[in-house]
Amino acid sequence: MTQPQPPITGTTHPLPFDKLSPRDFERLCLWLVKREGYERAEHLGAAGSEQGRDIIAWREGVLWAFQCKRVQSFYPKDALTEVKKVLALPEDQRPAVLVFLVTCDVSANTRQKARERCKQAGLECDFWAGTELDEKVNHHPDIVEKFFGSPIRKVFQAVVSPCGLAILTVGLILAFVLAASIFNIPTLQGLLPTPTAFAPASDDEALIIVAEFDNRSEGQLVGVDPSSSIYDFVLLAAQDNPESNARVERFEQVVTNSRDAQTLGELYAANLVIWGWYNSLGAQPYVELIGEHTIQGEGIALETPTPMAFYFLNEIPSQSAYLGLFTLGMTHIVVESSAELRQAISFFDAAVSSVVEGTRVKPWEAYVWRANCYSWLGEYEIALQDYDRALYLNPEDAPGYFNRACAHGNLGDHEAAIADYTEAIRIKPDYAEAYYGRGFAHFNLGDHEAAIADYTEAIRIKPDYAEAYFSRSAARRELGDYQAAIADCTEAIRIKPDYATAYLNRAIAHSNLSDHEAAIADCTEAIRIKPDLAEAYLGRAIAHSNLGDHEAAIADYTEAIRIKPDFAGAYVNRSAAQRELGDHEAAIADCTEAIRIKPDLAEAYFNRAAAHSNLGDHEAAIADFERYLELSTDPHWREQAEQHLRELRGE
């Protein structure tokens, strides 16, 4: 596996590696590893460096690790320090070969000591150092061009006269026309490009194409290439988040409009094409969602204090990469699919990692939507962390507070939910959904008056808010205002005629008023709309029992249990109907099953105690009544249980 080493010479290599930042040098190394034929190359970044690996890649089934060193000197102790880090890795992460990419020459002594230590641990060690590294890079002109620029580009950068720039630009255009005629370079402008640049997307990957940006500076900017930096940003973000399964390709022609971007994307079965333009005042990136629409970036202007190099190498690339990756994440928002939500999270991860510190790009949307995905997946604690990050970056985001409130509520922290709903309302006073959510939190805390007040405000803002009418009916029913509850359910049904649970709520209110026939009619309508609504069968069964039709009640309880096998309440209520028919053994069996499902269900102990008592098993009845008293806080039924106990004990 070790490649033959060229001789070390004292010749100074011409490529100015020392002019590159450490990050850019690592990017260069990543390009080189790929161009040298290694597969599945990944840049591990700072975390990888701590483990002696900046890059990992595979060749012929063997894992290689690459350590990138842009240094003036590299001694044995430096090499052994990095080897030690690699040897500290778990066995399943340890590479078979460690390669040092070093910008300075490395002595034979340093090489020998590093190889000996690696050999002791069963690893091979290689060096691409000094002139060796220079020769490898020079074998790949695209790397030289990207990181150091071509000789022509350097001449352009040296010219400051507008006239001179205009002349040289004409020469460049002429050169391009000649090259196009010789090599048949495809152009868009109504013609399909020849699909030879890279392979179309496969079914299991997301393809992102970064097209050349249009230079509209009229010769004032030469040697500026934001599309190249955008490509690097998207590529590194995708590699840092392999779960996204994204492939990033560079299309080295200018795309100037949405139509051509769509054509390019369709040709390669891409998901996204990033294109745009720039001039001396700023840049405008666009993200083309293939088959959908164009999303325009902010088009951040080049402010006077902003260094031009930072602007074109960091600001615009970071914005473009973030916008593209975030957009891809949004295409996977399918609440019903956990797999799609996980894919969305991977793109939001990549979007966040594409943001460069010091730029004006604030990834609060990615944090919010990643949090939403975690919430839909039921991972509320993780979601809260992302909502916190998003609101730190954008403290006036009313939907962010609303969504964080929902996560708090799902974790049972209704006080925190109320605080966030209140903040959302402060920012957006006509936020009907926030009033509704706060009402729901008040309801869960037992503050039904406050709940009604918030539901009423939600209805004032949004008069056709069926869910608010429905929830207000529940709060009114809890306060014993059954007629008002029926009125609210009726209004909810008027707005939303197929609102099954509104029929069910109205049925319960009818039962509270002893109108059991109306309750049966509403439950039957709820079942017609939603045949698998187990609670509607339960409600109808209770109404049947209240009318003395225990056989019909048992049939409905049984259907509720068939739909929802862990429906403890249906078992308890069926036991009561069976006891009314004198089938005490069946009643005991149903209560026992209810207790198995829900061990602290007080009513099940009361009903089972009564059945045991009816069968003359006083000892079992006493035990169940005592357990009921331990669990129940209902004063009426506690008094009944205590009376039964006195009778069973002969007191």
Q: How far apart are CA 617 and CA 447, in angstroms?
A: 43
Q: Average pLDDT in the 30-45 region?
A: 82
Residue 199 pLDDT more than 90? no
Q: How far apart are CA 315 and CA 304, in angstroms?
A: 14
Q: Average pLDDT in the 519-527 region?
A: 97
Structure tokens at 354: 């594409």
- Cβ atoms of residues 452 and 472 within 8 Å: yes
Name the percent of the chain lying above pLDDT 90.
Answer: 51
Q: Average pLDDT in the 73-82 region?
A: 89
Structure confidence by residue, pLDDT tens digits, 141-177: 778 877 776 432 222 222 222 222 222 222 222 222 2
Tell me which H or E stretch contains 272.
Answer: strand 272-279
Domain boundaries, given as residue ranges, for the chain: 17-148, 152-183, 192-355
Residue recorded with tokens 């049925």:
507
Model pLDDT, residue 140 = 81
- Cβ atoms of residues 406 and 417 within 8 Å: yes
Q: Which of the two residues, 28 and 592, has the higher pLDDT score?
A: 592
Model pLDDT, residue 402 = 95
- Cβ atoms of residues 274 and 288 within 8 Å: yes
Q: Is 157 helix (H, G, I), strand (E, B) or coil?
A: helix
Architecture category of domain 192-355 in CATH = 3-Layer(aba) Sandwich (3.40)
The candidate with the shortest Cα–Cα distance to 522, out of 485, 574, 558, 468, is 485
Task: Please report which residue ranges of 513-648 form alpha helices under DSSP H.
Answer: 516-529, 534-546, 550-563, 568-580, 584-597, 602-614, 618-631, 635-648
- Cβ atoms of residues 505 and 474 within 8 Å: yes
Side-chain-side CA neighbours of residue 420 (13 Å): 26
Burial class (CB in 10 A: 0-12, 13-18, 19+), 380: buried
Whether the model pTM is above 0.75: no
Structure confidence by residue, pLDDT tens digits, 4-14: 333 333 333 46
Report residue 336's pLDDT band, with 50, 70 and 90 as the boundaries.
confident
Burial class (CB in 10 A: 0-12, 13-18, 19+), 109: exposed
Residue 362 pLDDT more than 70? yes
Q: Which of the two residues, 181 and 202, has the higher pLDDT score?
A: 202
Same fold, 17-148 and 192-355: no
Q: Which of the two residues, 468 and 75, has the higher pLDDT score?
A: 468
Amino acid identity for residue 164 in this structure: G
Structure confidence by residue, pLDDT tens digits, 84-127: 999 988 888 889 999 999 998 888 888 999 999 999 999 999 99
Task: Please report which residue ranges of 335-379 form alpha helices under DSSP H.
Answer: 338-353, 364-376
Just give the CATH number of 17-148.
3.40.1350.10
DSSP string across 491-534 = HHHHH-TT-HHHHHHHHHHHHHTT-HHHHHHHHHHHHHH-TT-H
Model pLDDT, residue 2 = 34
Q: Average pLDDT in the 26-51 region?
A: 76
- Cβ atoms of residues 621 and 613 within 8 Å: yes
Lowest mean pLDDT among 104-108, 119-123, 189-193, 344-348: 189-193
Burial class (CB in 10 A: 0-12, 13-18, 19+), 532: exposed
Model pLDDT, residue 298 = 52
